[in-house]
Amino acid sequence: MKEYDVIVVGAGPGGYVAAIRCAQLGLKTACVDEWLGPDGKPSLGGTCLNVGCIPSKALLDSSHHYHNLQHLLPAHGISVEGASIDVAKMQKRKDKVVQMLTRGIAGLLKKNKIDAYPGHGRLLADRQVEVTAHGTAKKDQLKANNIIVATGSVPIDIPVAKVDGNAIVDNEGALAFSEVPKRLGVIGAGVIGLELGSVWSRLGSEVIVLEALDDFLVTADRNVAKEAQKVFKKQGLDVRLGAKVTSAKAAKNGVKVRFEDKDGEQSIEVDKLVVAVGRRAYTADLGAEAAGLKVDDRGRIEVDGQCRTSVQGIYAIGDVVRGPMLAHKASEEGVAVAELVAGQSAHIDHDIIPWVIYTHPEIAWVGKTEAELEADGKEFRIGSFPYRAIGRAQGAGETDGFVKIIADQKSDRILGVHIFGAQASELIAEAVTAMAFHASAEDLARTVHAHPTLAEAIHEAALAVDGRAIHF
């Protein structure tokens, strides 16, 4: 039996980051991961790198270039006759990006002298982990003073639309289409559904998104959701709210989807159907309960504010615990736990974790929404500023969207920042930094922003909190 200071189970953005930080701090570390790539070989990085964040953004960028070629560049005086999309080449590029990054992680583990164990990890009593190698009965027994569980999440499946990997797919299948579907159905208008729907819509699909809820993007700010819905509709995304799918059956030429809405029973026929109704914690055959860990009614491992489980020496991070299922949240929890194990102080402010939806325009926010503050009885002021009044946005032809800043009525401390617009995923970092240092709207208003930039929208929104925006 091999012994370690730390064993990390899972090598996604939470697990591999935790393992690297542990090694940096001088801890003898092992990392167990069961993911296999398309070639049947171990592929580190978890869902995010293999079939999530990275490949989806690679395709989003490809589809964005193609869309701009047809719809944005002509206004710049740039015209191309007979533009076409080579889906096979686009997919090959995406796969190359994924392969390069997964190999990079393997190199990082090796560089940091972390022992990698390909296979399925199962928790045993007394802080032991049993690793079953792929395709064999071979088992390794590992023991450590500390274990970090970072097994991530898997797509939620629904009985009325069983994924078959062909006509009915989950997010993984939707990233691997060999051709552009003429008609694409998507169940779920959340982050994954909108992003994947956006990819194929830009490439020419007629996309119909069926959302069971009556409201659009319930987790986002209401002003942002309303404006985004309007823009996406203009782009051609057919988002149908209050549409509860009752059945989906694959046929020879596609999928027939039945659903109910305010007008009664409806049906559509699509070439492909993407099931994107959310994700659930992945604890399959983990042995969590046998090891003494407490699991909630949603299958998540229960932890305290510092990711400690109910068993001393065992921690859990990322999608397998409470909180938003975001790669950067998992990574930061991994770093914090590694430092805690090494005897250092560790802290994560879960109140200022940024959210991003990679549609176009992008949606990003941090902190509280207006509705949440109203429900809490907080008094606040709002400053909002549109992209169309920003010179850089006009020059780029990216004028949809706005920045909204919410500040405390008395202290002026920033309580939330919400952005709908180009480069929102990059701009939100300024807001996160400001909130991390407890900045006020006045602090942002007095910070010099370069001109011309999209970031000026943040500056102007901060000025608008006090009713003194300059350019609108």
**Nearest alpha carbon to residue 241 among 216, 224, 260:** 216
- Residue 360 bears catalytic tag: no
The amino acid sitting at 291 is A
Among positive and negative, which fits the CA dihedral 330, 188, 194, 198? positive
Q: Taking a C-beta distance cutoff of 8 angstroms, is the pair 246, 214 a contact?
A: no
Report the relative pairing of strands 168-169 and 272-275 from DSSP bridges. parallel
Query: What are the φ/ψ torsions at residue 445 (nearest 5 degrees)?
Result: -65, -30
- The CA distance from 212 to 236, in Å, is 20
**Nearest alpha carbon to residue 151 among 315, 338, 332:** 315
Among positive and negative, which fits the CA dihedral 112, 118, 123, 128? negative
The amino acid sitting at 439 is A
The amino acid sitting at 131 is V
What size, in residues, is the chain? 472
Active-site residue, selected from the candidate residues 71, 438, 451, 471? 451
Query: What are the φ/ψ torsions at residue 390 (nearest 5 degrees)?
Result: -105, 125
- The CA distance from 204 to 63, in Å, is 9
Ramachandran region, residue 310 (left: φ > 0; alpha: ψ -120 to 50; beta: rest)? alpha
Cβ neighbour number for residue 224 with a 10 Å cutoff: 26
Both structure tokens of 358: 């990679």
Among positive and negative, which fits the CA dihedral 143, 149, 152, 158? positive
List of residues 6+ apart from 403 with CB closer than 8 A: 384, 385, 387, 417, 418, 419, 421, 427, 457, 458, 460, 461
Catalytic residue positions, numbered = 451
